[in-house]
Homo-oligomer: A and B are copies of this chain.
């Protein structure tokens, strides 16, 4: 994680530098009349949009109205203050990862993967783990020095802990795709708590979680070592793993 220093302050761009233009849509539980539009403008105002134009208001049933608002947002964006989960490790090729594992571990790196809870979306974790991979990159199974155990979908946390122990996992990779009612957060916290309880700190496998809707900065909050979001590729994960496992 790091913070960039950059002097500039920027604004959203509609068609002219600095115009600050944005588009917003939402539904309010109000009828589609002038009062409803006024409420939409009020909300836009609270969001910092001024002037705001309600360009579309469409009743959905008698008690809800959908609004589209365009306008100029008066916030300044300070790229210098943006905090991102930067890659703080070198991005290696498969060959380099294999060599690093041989050099640093002198044995195979063991990875246990699963979708936990009731989540059955395996395409994401499979993309990272299976040979097939994604975006032209092969998954971890393809790395000669990795041993991958992919437990599949809807794995209970207790079972995951047991497998991790039995396989002597260096890292546990968990996928969470369903986010409704913050399912992904609840499940991840449950998982990390269970590992912390089951393993002494030094022996605990690396906990890595991924899925399209995670905030990569939330590691501490979720009790995991690393979070990977939308569009992750296997190489990034492999590079991270050898970096982090090697550092232990």
Contact = CB atoms under 8 A, between A and B. Distances in A.
Contacts of A64: 13
B215 A51 contact: yes
A216 to B, nearest CB: 8
Nearest to A70: B213
Given A22-B25, A51-B215, A73 B43 contact: yes
Interface residues of A, number: 45
A21 B14 contact: no
B78 A42 contact: yes
B28 A12 contact: yes
Chain A binding surface SS class: mixed
Interface stretch (A30-38, A112-120, A150-158, A237-245): A30-38
Taken together, the copies of this chain in the complex come to 2
A53 interface: yes
Interface string A72-103: 01010111011111100000000000000000
A22 B26 contact: yes
Nearest to A51: B215
30 contacts: A10-B28, A10-B30, A10-B39, A12-B27, A12-B28, A13-B28, A13-B64, A14-B27, A21-B26, A22-B25, A23-B24, A24-B24, A26-B73, A28-B77, A34-B86, A35-B84, A38-B84, A39-B79, A42-B78, A42-B81, A42-B82, A43-B73, A43-B77, A46-B48, A47-B47, A47-B48, A47-B49, A47-B73, A48-B48, A55-B213
Interface of A: 4, 10, 12-14, 17, 21-30, 34-35, 37-39, 41-43, 46-49, 51, 53, 55, 64, 73, 75, 77-79, 81-86, 213, 215
